[in-house]
Chain A
Amino acid sequence: MKTKIIEVNNLTKEYKELKAVDGLSFDVYEKEILGLLGPNGSGKSTTINCILSLLKYSEGNIKIFGKEMRPDAYDIKRDIGVIFQEVAVFDELTVYDNIDYFCGLYIRNKKQRREHIEDAIKLVGIEDYKKFYPKQLSGGLLRRLNIACGIAHKPKLIFLDEPTVAVDPQSRNNILEGIKKLCESGATIVYTTHYMEEVEQICDRIVIIDKGKIIAEGTSDSLKELASIEEKISVEIDKIDDETLTKIKDLLTVSDAEYQNGVLTVSYKSGNDNIAEMIDFLRSNNLKYNKIYSERPTLNDVFLELTGKELRD
């Protein structure tokens, strides 16, 4: 049986009339990457801040490494690393000094610290920028520095709160690869984001949050089973009339069809090879198309089905 690293029970956080977090309960297990997925304002960051004892909460209890988390729980804090959504570095210090400062809050031995800093710099790929000041770095490099500052002391538990916001694709891939490596080296990771592709790519388990409540929890595949569709076919087509659209909707396995911005999207209740049937239909109705492709349901479809809105709304 896997060891519980974090236990959150009935966590509730209220801001006057608003319940930002509403009776949240979940566990995080050793050496897993748990994704907290939800749209902006769903309560992900508030949950993290409550777990870290930065915020007061109205109800609930939180245990980390089996001990109650409090502001003065220094023995717990020693093994935690946090990468916040906003970049948390000093503009006055160089890249190296920033990492050294934050790492030094955990590790006193200078030799050991130097080794850890070099490892962190290598992991996020900023070896060429050690003497740069944060203002001289691009957005992506700044995010990488932010991560290096949070993980240089090699924590056992790492919180990453939307670390890839406003990051270029190259840096995003670098960050996601780095997170996987951290997990492989034994760290437990809590990863919050509103990018479903990222959680699908790196998370072992996913907790979907909306309006401060957990609406679904499980692996990526188990969550997708919650969606009522099995396959989604998209057709790039210049024009389609309402009569044809109705005909498509009347097909036996089709659950829904819509035409928007030159793309016909057809959702199927069952089967995973409906593309041949769709091509036959288009030929028989003399409809010329530019591109046709098939997709499995995404977490966004799950979210849409559970909440009636898109993840990025």
Chain B
Amino acid sequence: MFFHNFKYSLLLLLKNKSLVFWTLAFPIIMAMLFNMAFSDLESEDKFDVIDIAVVNSTDFDNNTIFKKSLESLSEGDDKLFNISYVGADRARTMLEDREITAYLVFHSDDVKVTVNSNGIEESIVCYVVEEIKSDCAVIMDVGTQYITSEIAKGNYDIDYEQYFTNTANDLLNHSVNIKDDSSSKLSYSMIEYYSLIAMTCLYSGLLSMTLINYRLANISSVGKRSTISPVRKGGMILGSLAASFVVQLFGLLILYLFMLFFIKVDFGTNLPFIIALSVMGVLAGLTFGVACAVLLKLNENAKLTALIAATMVGSFLSGMMGITMKNIVDKNVPVLNWINPVAMITDGLYSLYYYETPDRFYFDVISLAIFSAVMILISIRGLRRQKHDSI
């Protein structure tokens, strides 16, 4: 009986053009729109590699810390500078010909930055040079204190060059860490993609609600026919849920494939976690749809409207339209987000970025599982021995 129900539930969903659109096509259209709207915004925030020149000199060669710092900034995929090591005249010519943004000239321990105009790239060069100068001062200061203390202890056998190199490396590694942290912050478009995933999960309630309405005598004529059949309601619900689950997972799969391969969204190492959370989110959305269908004493359209409205309000409170709202609710009425499945999904997604351990993520996954189980139980209880005042 389960497979009979499952098979026909699947057929009913896949042949319903409107549901197919909202489940399969709409999220993809939204992802496409987000990509068009936000990719430009973010590309404006990205800086191209800046071409600079360093004027060759003995002073530069002797400034090990500065030399290593510039080398590290001109290496790798995320390098900041393209550096040309040239003579002073050539550097001037390059600047005039706009082949470079700036050139650096070393005099003793000092560095002079020459630019041709004011702009973001020029500002970045100046800022970075000032930062390195500041780091050099710190290293020199710490180094002087270290050497003084070692001499005071009677230790005269100090490898100065090795010491300064190690200190410089520590500082550079520290800088690298800072860079990694900044790149892991949630970008605006990622928040929108996560919102889209969460919304897609929760709108799976539309699928389950449609199927459950087919089983309710007070909603549809086929519901009357199903109700007088000798099939237990629990079995019917499970068959319908399984079919809705498969259709929605298929919808999510298409969405993920589209985001990964067409608009090239980079989920990084979090992808398996995000997929796991969205599967649980689909389950929560489906069971929420079932509960709304069973418990709300409204007509079919009013139920659908109520489901959409509840999801929208849940989304708003969980911070989908700005994370500030989630913080306000967490601070003032935390119980709202404890029972809000949208909040469980968004909290789980954000936790991947804001917490170092996955405890919070697992807590959200388990919360979604408990929410789904509760929805199923109250739905089955609501359907058992159901008689209506009027149909």
Contact = CB atoms under 8 A, between A and B. Distances in A.
Interface of A: 15, 49, 52-56, 70-72, 74-75, 77-78, 80, 82, 84, 86-90, 92-93, 97, 101-102, 104-106, 108, 149-150
A215 B3 CA distance: 48
A244 to B, nearest CB: 53
A126 B11 CA distance: 22
A88 B225 contact: yes
Interface stretch (B56-64, B160-168, B228-236): B228-236
Contact of B385 (A72, A77, A93, A106): A72
B229 A105 contact: yes
B384 interface: yes
Contacts of A89: 222
B3 to A, nearest CB: 10
Q: For the complex, would chain A's binding face be called helix, strand, loop or mixed by DSSP majority?
A: loop
A105 B230 contact: yes
A150 B390 contact: no
Interface residues of B, number: 29
Interface in B73-102: none
B228 A55 contact: no
Given A104-B8, A106-B229, 15 more contacts: A15-B389, A55-B388, A56-B389, A70-B385, A71-B385, A71-B387, A72-B384, A74-B232, A86-B221, A90-B222, A92-B12, A92-B16, A93-B15, A105-B1, A108-B1
Given A93-B12, A149-B225, A71 B386 contact: yes
Contacts of A77: 228-230
Nearest to A76: B230
B133 interface: no
B225 A102 contact: yes
B8 A93 contact: yes
Contacts of A106: 229-230
Interface in B174-230: 214, 217, 220-222, 224-230
B10 to A, nearest CB: 11
Contacts of A86: 221
B120 interface: no
Contacts of A72: 384-385
A54 B391 contact: yes
A108 to B, nearest CB: 7
A15 B387 CA distance: 14
Contacts of B228: 52, 54, 77, 80, 82
A22 B158 CA distance: 110
